[in-house]
Amino acid sequence: MTLKEAAAFKHHITSLKFRNTISNDTNDERAGFLQEKGWISTDQEVLDLLKDGYDQFRIKTAERIVNENPGKIYFNKCPDCSKLARTPQAKQCRYCGYSWHQQIVASFQIASAFQMTGRHFFVLGDILTGNIKVGMNADFTTLGLAIKPVIRAIEFSRRNDDGLVWEDVGLGFSDLTDEDKEFLISKCPFLTTIFIEDHNAS
């Protein structure tokens, strides 16, 4: 959300909570306190966002986010009926009951990422569970990227950390944007694990 949208959301929630205990009177002590803390707003631009009701505010905000971020919003749709799942990480359809849990074959934790000149972009880390093969997909949606790129290469890398030798697994990708790569490089290491999917699993 923009700062104005976030302020409108906070104003709506606070107004609901205190609807019977605060007034619009500028001398109302509680209203003054909530305004001072930024929980309710007197900014007309913020209030205008809510003028058609909260549901319309949510719809317009969602439409703006999707329109301004094409390709960055991941819609987790059921592979069977194509309806939207409850959450980005859900693996069972609330409509038709189809489950695609079997597609998750491994989990991976990213420690670092880099671009090799003339070669793939690699994320390095540890396989926490399962086995990973070339051709599987890495689900980056848990990290905030709306992508599930195909793993094009798997390599191993040794690093020396204070006298201890560690072996990392490198997953190579060829279809990430420069923006995706920069995001991954700048946010490493990740505490959140990613899932590896085999879309041919049944």
* Domains of the chain, CATH where assigned: 3-68 (no CATH), 101-197 (2.40.30.10)
**Backbone CA torsion sign across 13, 15, 19, 21:** positive
Return the C-alpha torsion angle 16, 19, 20, 25, nearest 10: 170
The model carries a pTM of 0.62
Answer whether residue 58 shows pLDDT above 60: yes
User: Mean pLDDT throughout 168-181?
Assistant: 93
User: Mean pLDDT throughout 73-91?
Assistant: 85
Answer whether residue 139 shows pLDDT above 70: yes
* Confidence label for 29 from pLDDT (cuts 50, 70 and 90): confident
Which residues, listed in sequence order, are joined to residue 108 by a DSSP beta bridge? 127, 194
Tokens of 102: 């079997």
The more confidently predicted of residues 38 and 71 is: 38
pLDDT at 24: 53
Q: Which of 122-126, 138-142, 183-187 has the weakest average pLDDT?
A: 138-142
Please tell me the distance from the alpha carbon of residue 7 to that of residue 5, in angstroms, as a whole number. Answer: 5
pLDDT at 71: 64
Element housing 63 (H / E): helix 54-68
Contacts (Cβ under 8 Å, ≥6 apart) of 5: 49, 57, 61
3-state SS assignment for residue 51:
coil
